[in-house]
Amino acid sequence: MTKHPKEAERLKKIVEAFPNVTVTMLGDLVADEFVFGEISRVSREAPVLILKHRERTVVPGGGANAANNLADLGVNVLPVGIVGDDEPGRLLLKHFRHKRIAVSGVLRDKSFTTVTKTRILAGMAHTARQQIVRMDREPQEAPNAHLTRELYLAARNYAHASDALLVSDYGYGSATPALVAALREKGKLQTVPIILDSRFRMLEYSGVTSATPNEPEVEEALSIRIGHDWTRLVTAGEQLMRRMKLQSLVITRGRDGMVAFDGKHNPVDIPIFGSDQVTDVTGAGDTVIAAYTAALAAGASTEEAAQVANYAGGIVVMKRGTATATQKELLEAIEQSPPATRQH
């Protein structure tokens, strides 16, 4: 493993420039609900635990979490998405307003259900809480033609005034390959870098600037198994770059860190920042793409942006629940531990 102390100063300057950066986030806005209960006893009705309700929190998830991370990094973020006229939607808007995130690009529609992922966590008093079940509430249908048109107009107008467009596609219809293609062509966004995180249909996006899939998503998209084979990983990354016509690519690998590709240099293998004994990976991908996009928008190279994203990801997986990494935390992490790479 090679450490790069001189590069730390460059990364700090990139992070310090975040308040000068504006990013439009087009994506599926999700409400992450956490319900905490203290184990009381086993039910007489069925072999299940009875929990005494102790606490409930609702925080931004999915694309909303990416926007939340951008805000905490000091970036001026302009979210574009849809929420329903329901409690989770109202709580997301309230959270955005509290963070002074613009909400004029967030559409509210009575016919739409705000995507809500409810996690039930259980534990004894003074012990760690463990997730025991998750329940998802999703819209019955994709956004209609009117809403899609409104999303297009908001994203186009915001992106023209932004340094980058972050696309967070969780499959609920607010961000689609067709919509992004229309923005690039009809919306004339060819000069605005577009950074993609697509959970299920990455290969349907062609011509975006960069993408940040995790390794299982790459394996599923290409119908391959990578494992610990470096050569196979490099081949997969190069294939994605070619098929999607990307300028750059970052593949995240959990406790094995991430690998950055840019087509001009050899792939860069970056070890995980911090401990590989993670606390919670919920929403870590949103943090990674937020930090990566912000760094690219601030003028970073692919490797520099990946290093910044690696720090942010390492910070957030040590926190419980859906969390963010702040600009201050990033600067402290870079100060304490110079960026590192692995040789092959």
Active-site residues, by number, are 286
Q: Is there a contact between 301 and 10 (Cβ–Cβ < 8 Å)? A: no
Q: Is there a contact between 137 and 111 (Cβ–Cβ < 8 Å)? A: no
Distance of CA 5 to the CA centre of its chain: 28
Distance of CA 269 to the CA centre of its chain: 20
Q: How much helix, strand and coil, in percent to the nearest 5, is found in the chain?
A: 40, 30, 35
With tokens 């599926």, the residue in question is: 28
Strand order of the β-sheet with 164-169 is 106-109, 76-84, 22-27, 164-169, 194-198, 210-211, 248-252, 258-261, 268-270
**Cα–Cα–Cα angle for 193, 195, 197, rounded to 5 degrees:** 165
CA dist 43 and 48 (Å) reads: 6
* Contact partners, residue 336, CB within 8 Å, separation at least 6: none
Burial 261-273 (b: 16+ CB within 10 A, else e): bbeeeebbbbbbb
Nearest alpha-carbon partner for 300 in 184, 208, 163: 163
CA dist 91 and 83 (Å) reads: 10
Nearest alpha-carbon partner for 311 in 270, 266, 253, 251: 270
With tokens 């937020």, the residue in question is: 290
Which residues share a beta bridge with 79? 25
Residue 207, burial from CB neighbour count under 10 angstroms (0-12, 13-18, 19+): middle
